[in-house]
Amino acid sequence: MRLKKIKGAKELLESNNLFIKDCSSLRGNFKKEFQNSNPIHLEIGTGKGDFIINMARNFPDANFIGFEKYESVLCKAALKENSLSNLRFICEDATNIEEIFNKEIDTLYLNFSDPWPKKKHSKRRLTHEEFLKKYDIIFKEKNHIIMKTDNQKLFEFSVKSFNNYGYKIEELYLDLHSENIFNIETEYEKKFSAKGLKIFKIEITK
């Protein structure tokens, strides 16, 4: 599906107090942006922002960054929140992730990432080994990834990829919404769950 561009999206983002325009200049020193040394949690593919905004609201003692490739998508998140001191938005391509962060991320969220179903496009998946290598550079100490998806084939690919790369599975759910656990939903998650689709979740460390 073709992404609908929103006129004025760039200007809207740049007018938002939480938007970081020159993020590469903060590489290795994002604690300066937040003015504290609290853990930094990063979501790649933040979409319209429901998950990352609610995480920031629920956990004021941690910092959160919503990372999204498309201005026309991220501006919708920016319309929802403009003042949380522990939240920031970045508009960049995930292929450049190691050029933006350096040994400062505590937890990485991969929520409902593009499954890139064709085999020839597998290297574009955010759980492919090529991306796992990039994540090694951004984590502060222990690598910590939490992933959710409705796509079973992507989930199976990811579990195998994580295992081959040396990650340890801490938690795994094949039907997340059947469990009585704390869970903040993304906008996609709400839609998929309403359709009766199962949500897969995995939490890993290395």
Helix (H/G/I), strand (E/B), else coil: 109: strand
Q: CA distances (Å), 145 to each of 109, 130, 158, in order? A: 6, 15, 11
Are the beta carbons of 53 and 81 closer than 8 angstroms? yes
* Catalytic residue flag (residue 114): yes
Q: For residue 57, which amino acid is it?
A: R
Q: What's 105's DSSP letter?
A: B
Q: CA distances (Å), 92 to each of 124, 165, 196, 204, in order? A: 15, 25, 33, 25
E strand or H helix at 80, and its extent? Answer: helix 71-80
Q: Which of 93, 114, 136, 175 is catalytic?
A: 114
Active-site residues, by number, are: 114
